[in-house]
Structures are given as structure tokens and as C-alpha cells.
Structure 1
Amino acid sequence: MSGDIAVLANPTAGRGRHRGLLPGVVQRLGAAGHPVRLLEASSAEEAEKACHRAVADGCAALVAVGGDGTVHLALQAAAARPVRFGVVPAGTGNDFAAGTGVAADPLTAAADIAEALRAGRSVAVDLARTTGTDGEVRWFGAVLAAGFDAIVNERANRMRWPRGPRRYDLAILLEMMRVRPRLYALEIDGVDHGFEGTLVAVGICPSYGGGLRIVPAADPTDGLLDVVTAAPLSRAAMARLKPRLRSGTHVSDPRVRTFRAKQVRLHSDGIIAYADGERLGPLPLEITCVPGAVQLLR
């Protein structure tokens, strides 16, 4: 296989705690026998364009070094394209990496990528393709959120204070004060499952938010989306249910429903969807599972 190993690295991922790892990651990737090239970008838009250029230029592999946000950007270029894809988990939340069996240690993950590339070995992993009303296509590999969690993300992104995780915690408290059920139009493989509720998420992998197993049975190689919804929940009920997300036992609650599907259509007024922790855009969306959409090196 010709070409170089194109690396998209986010030095601020994981609040910068892995900043010093990049030289070691590059060294281990180089053991595959290909030149290693760091992609230059000063914004998310530039990073995504750089990934597209690297794939178009015939790179041997595209590797994302960072968290789910970095992976999300790189997947836009690797999805449904004949390029090998690698992940070195170095973020605050590494849900795609965890869900697809990538080693948790960044240096081990980089060494595994090099060995897989050298051996010509990869694993076909599913992705979800989303299409908005404007026809724009975006891909995600972990979970799409379109309920209370998405509303919290949207508020947190508008806030300028406080910095760090406290901003998200404050956003949760503020939205809990005004939580209300919403009407959702939900179509699963052509069948109407519209509901009034508080939560809806669609996943390829089991977790989001750094290990919250929102769709615990999700398998990124089964060719299906996993969907979870929750009926209207009071503030007290949400507070009781939240700790169970870490283990995935919330799905046994009678107010929670789960589905599996090849395609989902979802709409609710005023909801901005988030996928892989990144702002995707307003509903409605059509979400389709694309089996084996990316060849993962691990």
C-alpha cells in the first residue's frame, strides 16, 4: 500500500493532558513503514478539509488523535471511502474508541494501528449517515442525542462562563429547572413510533459523554442502529435515572423503550441534535446505518 499516514491531532483534547504524547504516537505509527504526516489546521472546518484532501491524495491511512470530536471530523472524510482509519484515544470522552475495541492507552493504540497496517488487517465498522432537510450528509460513529442531553449541550455552548466542565454542570442545573416533555415524530424502519417524552438517542456504539451507556446493547458491527426513548420524566425521576446510565441499567425502567433499526426518521420542534458530542444541526433528520462504512485499524 502506497501513501503516507495522515494524522489529525487535537493538542487540546482531554484538556491537554495528552499533549506530550504526540511524538511517541508518531514514532509508533512510523513502524508501519509509511511516512507520517501531521495535518495542519487552525479550526474544525480546516481540519475536516485537510482530512478530505489527505484521503483524495491517496493516504495509506487516516488517523485521528484526540477525543470523539476529533474522530467525528476525520470520519467525514473516511466514511464510505477506500482508506484505512485509525483512532488514538486522547480525549475527555473516547466513546467511539471504547465502543469499537480500540486500546485505551494512546501509545498502545498507535502501535496497534501500525501493526494492523503492516499486516494489511482491518475491521469493518458501521457508521450512521444523517441527512437533513437541506440534503446535507453528516456521519457519526458513537451516539446522536436529540433529547434533554442535546438541549443541555446547546445551552452550554451558548454560555461564556464558567469555563471547563463546570459550565456543563451549570447548564444541566438550569435546564433541569425548566425541563418539560416534547412531542417527537419518530419513524423506525417505516413504522410510526411517535411519542411525548424527555429523551431520545440513536447509537452505533453503546456510550456517549465519556462512558454513559445510553444504548448499552449497541454493536458497531451488527448493521443496525440502537434507539432509546424515555417517556415524560420529572426532575426527580431524571435525577434517579441518571446514575444508571453509567451501567446501562436505565433500559430496564418501564418508562424507557429501546428499538433496533436500519433507518430512523426523527423530528421535534426546536431541537438541535448532537452527534459524537458535536453540534450536528436542527431536526428533522433521517438517520441510516451504513454497515462496514469504515475500515478500522486496531
Structure 2
Amino acid sequence: MGWRLALAVHPDSGQGTAARMAGTVAARLRAEAAHLELITPASPERFRQRVADCRTSGLDALVVLGGDGAAHQAVQCCAGTDVSLGLVPCGTGNDFARALGIPRDPRAALDALVSALRHGRRRPPRRLDLGRVDGADAAAARWFGTVLCTGFDAAVNARANSMPWPRGPRRYDVALLQELMSLRPRPVVVDTDAGRLTLRATLVAVGNTAFYGGGIPICPSAVYDDGAFDVTVVGPVSPLRLARILPRLRTGTHVRHPSVHTLRASRVHVAGAPEWPVFADGDPVGALPVSVTCVPGALSVLG
């Protein structure tokens, strides 16, 4: 019996790369599938709804052609189910694919995915952990695969999302400079099952995997199947000192700076300034306080 697949295409990803590749990807998948449903809605709201509908439609796998934002929506569908996730990354950051070892070249990723489909009935998909953003309504929990953050980095993300120009990665560079000029550390309590930190902080990052922001290893030791988060907390630093730390983020050596604290935990609660936004997988999920839990084996991934 063949695979029952859905292909969700986020057409704007990679400045149109996803739209240009959609036909090729669909043809390759159709050759391996008994059924292929194509999801290409025009609006972000409709995209989210169509992906959510896949959760109860009897699919074997949901394949995403897009970036981290599209992957985040697919995670909401696949988390805690037997619907496997397949990724053909073609966004700006592709941090989830990077953490999973999926080729960041979309054609190479497609080849790997097709190979996984051909051998998938004999070689089960791998299981990986997810972070769950806990709330009063368990049925409405949000999930994340990469990093949840608050403070400076989340503010950069929020500002970048509100900027119509420039497009692409340069938008984040401009947002970073603007947020750096208005940097104000705030009192924060990071309460975990492994201990508590009470301090004035610049940012808090809770990593299910290592990367955010297009390959920045903010939680460099985080892996996706160890049942725990890696947490990175940057204490009170001046704009000048933070500017000096930022280049070390690209190599992961920032964790050796005396202003940086790290710990490992499976449950994390962050309380502090209510104006601090919270982002997960690059998407807004609210503001402080926030509680998150690492859920082992919550996601099945092809390839």
C-alpha cells in the first residue's frame, strides 16, 4: 500500500523558490504516493488552517516545502500523532532542517526525502523531542522544534517582522542594530526542574535544538532526542558588551563568556517583564510569563 501524503507549499519562502520548485517536488512525491494532496493557499491564515486539517485526514506524512515558519505550522499538525513530517527547506533560515541534518539545498533534501519514502516501510521514521508551550487549555498547546526565546532576540524578531524593508536577512541586521540601541536588561526568574536563576537578564533561550536566526547556535549543545532542553541566559550587559558577545554566537563560544549562564532541564518557567515578547521557531507565541515542557519522541520525521 502506497503513502498517503500532503504537500504544503509556502510560495513566498526563499523569495519565491518554493513556488518555482512546487511542480518538481509534487511530481517526485506523486511517483511514490498512492495519494497526494497539494496545499497552496494564498493567505497565511488559510495555510495554517489547511495544514491543521491534515491532523485528522488519515495521512501518513505531511511534506513541507518552505522555511522555518511553514515547518512550525506543520509541527502543530504532526506533534503527538502518527503523521510524519518531511522537510524540503527553502526559507531564509532553515534552522530546523539544519538541526536535523537535512540538506539545506532543496534539491538534495528532496532526493533524501524520496529515498526515505522508498525505504520507509522497512526503516521507520526517526522520533524526536518537541517543546510544548503549556497553557490553561492543553488541547491548544503550541509546539516548537528549535528554540523558544524572550528578551533581546525576541524583540529583534518582532521588530523585523514589522519592517516592510529591507527584504531577506538584511532586515534582521537592521532590526538588531535598532534593538541594540534601546537595550535594557530586565529582572527575570528562570525556574526549572534543574534549578533556579534569578537575575537581570538580556535574553533567555530555551533550545530543543541548537540553532535559531539562520544558523546561530544559541544553545550549542542542544540535541533533539535527549529528553531535555538546553537553556542559555545572557545576564545584564551593556549594548557595547552585547555587541562584543554577538560575534561569538556564530561559533557557539558565547557560552564561555562570564555573563552567560547555561543549564539543562526538561521543564522551564520564565517570569519577568510582561512587555517581553516570546517567540518559538521564529513565530510569536505571546509574552512572559511562559512555561515549556520537553516532550520526548513527540514528532516523527522522514529522512
Same fold (TM over 0.5): yes
TM-score range for the pair, normalised by the shorter chain length: over 0.9
Residues 195/40 of structure 1: CA separation in 2 closer, same or farther (3 Å cut): same
The structure-2 alpha-carbon separation of the partners of 1:165 and 1:268, relative to structure 1 and needing over 3 Å to count, comes to same
| 1:2–1:60 contact (8 Å) kept in structure 2 | no
Q: Deviation per CA, 1:98-139, whole angstroms, max 9, x where unpaired?
A: 101212221222232233233223110111000246764100
Distance 2:159 2:135 in 1: 22
User: Match of 1:212, as an amino acid?
Assistant: I
Taking structure 1 as the reference length, the TM-score comes to 0.93
1:148 to 148, 152, 159: 152
CA deviation string 1:203-228 (max 9, x = no partner): 11111011001001110011111100
* Distance (Å, rounded) in 2 between the aligned partners of 1:179 and 1:20: 40
| Alignment pair present for 1:125 and 2:128 | yes
Provide the residue aligned with 2:111 in structure 1: 111
**Aligned residue-pair number:** 298
- Measured at CA, do residues 277 and 148 of structure 1 come closer, stay the same or move farther in structure 2, by a change above 3 Å? same
Which moves more between the two structures, 85-94 or 161-170?
161-170
Alpha-carbon distance in structure 1 between the residues aligned to 2:39 and 2:19:
16
Mean CA deviation greater in 97-106 or 37-46: 37-46
CA distance in 1, matches of 2:159, 2:104: 30
Which AA in structure 2 matches 1:275? A
Higher mean C-alpha deviation, range 128-137 or range 56-65: 128-137
2:146 aligned partner, one-letter code:
A
Greater displacement, 234-243 / 25-34:
25-34
* TM-superposed deviation, 1:2: 5.7
Determine the structure 2 residue equivalent to 1:87: 87
% same residue: 43
**Is the 2:2–2:32 contact (alpha carbons within 8 Å) kept by the matching residues of 1?**
no
What letter corresponds to residue 109 of structure 2 in structure 1?
A: A
Choose which of 277, 283, 287 in structure 1 pairs with 2:282. Answer: 277
Alignment of 1:1-298 (within 5 A): 4-119=4-119, 120=121, 121-132=124-135, 136-189=140-193, 191-269=195-273, 270-298=275-303
Measured in 1, the distance between the counterparts of 2:18 and 2:55 equals: 26
What is the CA–CA distance in structure 1 between the aligned matches of 2:262 and 2:51, rounded to whole Å? 35
User: What amino acid is the match of 1:272?
Assistant: P
Structure 1 gaps of 5+ residues are none
Post-superposition offset of 1:175? 1.7
TM-score between the two structures when normalised by the length of structure 2: 0.92
Aligned-CA RMSD value = 1.9
Q: Aligned partner of 1:297: which letter? A: L
1:160 Cα deviation (Å)? 4.2
**Residues 133, 158 of structure 1: CA spacing in aligned structure 2 closer, same or farther, 3 A cutoff?**
farther
Deviations 1:20-59 (A, max 9, x none): 2222222222342333221142333322221222231111
- Which one is further off, 206-215 or 15-24? 15-24
Shift of 1:192: 2.3
Cα distance, 1:117–1:167 mapped onto 2, change above 3 Å? closer
Deviation at 1:168, TM superposition (A): 2.8
